[in-house]
Amino acid sequence: MEIERKWMVTGWPQGLACTEEYQMDQGYFSVRPTVRIRREALKGGETHYVLCFKGAGTLAREEIETDIAPDLYDRLKALLGKPLIAKVRRGYALPDGLTLEVNQVDAGQPGEFFYAEIEYPTTQAALAWQPDTDALRTYLNNEVTGRPGASMGEYWLRTRGEAQ
């Protein structure tokens, strides 16, 4: 089960230490339900190729991810026949033990944007969480959890056309 809240943000956060950075590429075969492939290259670390399925929902939904071989990823990528979404994801440790994940999407392209997510252990924890500093409250002032059109799958449809 994936339980997360999402915000549209401007740039990288200030005053938080970056704990990890990934270069990613992802594409969608289906948006409802979500069927997606992604390459996740950890800076200074390993690269994983992932096949992901996500069920219905916004704040909480079933998510199944499985690693796949690089050659299968390449074959699936070729089936899409469209440019993948390029992302840089940086993780920032929050004082309460959670991680703020900030994503830069399609850098240098006309539709470039940033969004942030936090995953939670329970729905109750997600609903109760509030930023603990003025700077973080200001940074996370545009929550889009559950807002129609705010998912990466919807972005795929707007910028790449129909999923396969």
How confident is the model over 107-130, as a mean pLDDT? 96
Percent of the chain residues topping a pLDDT of 70: 99
pLDDT (0 to 100) of residue 162: 76
Burial of 102 (C-beta count, 10 Å sphere; 0-12/13-18/19+) = buried
Mean pLDDT of 51-75: 96
Structural domains of the chain, with CATH: 2-160 (2.40.320.10)
Please work out, in degrees rounded to the nearest 5, the angle formed at the alpha carbon of residue 144 by the alpha carbons of 102 and 163: 80
Q: Tell me how many degrees the CA angle 53-56-61 measures, rounded to the nearest 5.
A: 75
Cα R_g (the chain), whole angstroms: 16
- Please check the confidence at residue 83 and state whether its pLDDT lies above 90: yes
Give the model's confidence band at 164: pLDDT under 50 very low, under 70 low, under 90 confident, else very high.
Answer: low
The pLDDT tens digits for 11-23 are: 999 999 999 999 9
pLDDT in tens, 27-56: 999 999 999 999 999 999 999 999 999 999
- Mean pLDDT, the chain, whole residue set: 96
User: What value, to the nearest 5°, has the Cα angle with vertex 156 and ends 54 and 146?
Assistant: 55
